[in-house]
Amino acid sequence: MIDIHDAHNAAHTWTDFFIHIATIVLGLFIAVGLEQIVEHIHHHYQAEQARADLADELGNNRDVLRINIMQLHIHERNLRADLGVLDRFRTHSSAPGDRLLIFDILRIFSNVHWKNAEETGATAYLSPDERIAYGFDYLQQDRFNAEADEADSALEAAAAVLYDENTQLPQPRMNGAILFDDKFTHSESATEMEIAATSPSLDFSRLTPQQIDRLELGIQQTIAADGRLLSIAGIIQGRQESRLKQIAAYAPRPR
């Protein structure tokens, strides 16, 4: 709040009066101008902080994308091999090493900094192009997260026929390894070995033909879902490259 104090001596002439009014008006303009400058600096700082946070989140999500693409390719290969295992079981020609490699571990894309920027109003101080671009980016990432969760739940329901009340669904050690161990996040062969090592051997003999059909359908649907996820991942990858160029364009120029 700006306090305006009257002059100690009253104006005695019209000239004094107008000088007094002009002084007040000028003081108001200066005060408002200073307030706007401070506000502009604050908004500029909010925008720069939001850009820095979003750039950091982009870096993390690029790692997530790389791992997810690797996982999806591995998962699709495993599921196609699973269809061969089920076909051999139907024809009573199963091989000694036949096993089903069903589940995968996909990372979730983060949107913490974007949500925080929206809640604090910092997105209002980004350029219109940035707001539109980031909004679409996070929409695609949310779409990937939602579809991955839906596909995983559907496959888990189809694979339930493999497990009785005494057998839990496998919880691969990759829950920790894939997320935190560079050996697995950078090596496709190590990831495949970990999946095989943590997938239990299963007894197919108790499955009915109807259960096999149900499991086969679930696997086929998941292969299709993996294809859709790879398509979304391709969109996200292209968007991330565009965002890196945009970030570079807004980066402060060295003096």
pLDDT of residue 111: 93
- CA triple 35-40-44, angle to 5 deg: 150
Q: State how far the Cα of 172 lies from the Cα of 105, in Å rounded to an integer.
A: 8
Tokens matching residue 239: 């968007």
Q: State how far the Cα of 159 lies from the Cα of 187, in Å rounded to an integer.
A: 27
> What sign results for the dihedral spanned by CA atoms 223, 228, 231, 233?
negative
Tokens matching residue 52: 């820095």
Q: Read out DSSP for 203-239?
A: --TT--HHHHHHHHHHHHHHHHHHHHHHHHHHHHHHH
pLDDT of residue 16: 72
pLDDT of residue 43: 60
pTM of the entire predicted model: 0.75
Mean pLDDT, consecutive 10-residue segments, the chain of 255 residues?
Answer: 49 70 74 64 74 91 92 92 89 80 84 92 88 92 94 86 60 41 60 70 75 91 95 94 82 59
Q: State how far the Cα of 190 lies from the Cα of 101, in Å rounded to an integer.
A: 15
The conformation of residue 122, written as its DSSP 8-state character, comes to: G
Q: State how far the Cα of 69 lies from the Cα of 255, in Å rounded to an integer.
A: 40
pLDDT of residue 245: 84
pLDDT of residue 238: 93
**What burial class does residue 222 get, using C-beta atoms within 10 Å of its C-beta: 0-12 exposed, 13-18 middle, 19+ buried?**
buried
3-state secondary structure of 199: coil
Name residue 66's amino acid: R
Distances in Å between the alpha carbon of 64 and those of 101, 177, 213? 22, 14, 34
Q: State how far the Cα of 172 lies from the Cα of 194, in Å rounded to an integer.
A: 8
